[in-house]
């Protein structure tokens, strides 16, 4: 409830009261979503630590491709008929 020496929430017009309610609900929803995501992330990391066997490489491992890939080349198109007609 918003109250100051000069005015209280009861003195505000209904449209402003509704906007305040919407803002409060949005802020509450935002905070709850962040808390839920933090909990889910914590559970994810716990499960990952329990399940990951020692044979799996860690996330920091970079796979190296030893064979260089061939460069792209342009292959000419061979046409059976000429596109230019004789006149």
Number of domains in the chain: 1
Q: Alpha-carbon distance 75 to 43, whole Å?
A: 53
The sign one gets for the Cα dihedral 33, 37, 40, 46 is: negative
Phi, psi of 8 (to 5 degrees): -125, 175
Q: Alpha-carbon distance 39 to 33, whole Å?
A: 10
Residue range of the domain that includes 47: 22-52
Decide if 29 is inside a domain. yes
Task: Read off the pLDDT band of 76 (50, 70, 90).
Answer: confident
Decide if 42 is inside a domain. yes
- Where would I find the H helices in 2-68? 14-51
The model's pLDDT over 3-37, given as tens digits with 9 standing for 90+, comes to 555 667 778 899 999 999 999 999 999 999 999 99
Q: What is the pTM of this model?
A: 0.42
């Amino acid at each position: 409830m918003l109250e100051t020496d000069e005015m209280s929430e009861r003195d505000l017009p209904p449209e402003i009261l509704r906007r305040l309610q919407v803002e409060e609900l949005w802020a509450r929803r935002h905070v709850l979503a962040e808390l839920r995501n933090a909990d889910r992330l914590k559970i994810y990391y716990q499960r990952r630590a329990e399940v990951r066997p020692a044979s799996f490489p860690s996330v920091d491992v970079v796979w190296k491709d030893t064979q260089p890939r061939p460069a792209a080349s342009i292959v000419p198109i061979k046409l059976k008929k000429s596109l230019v007609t004789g006149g």
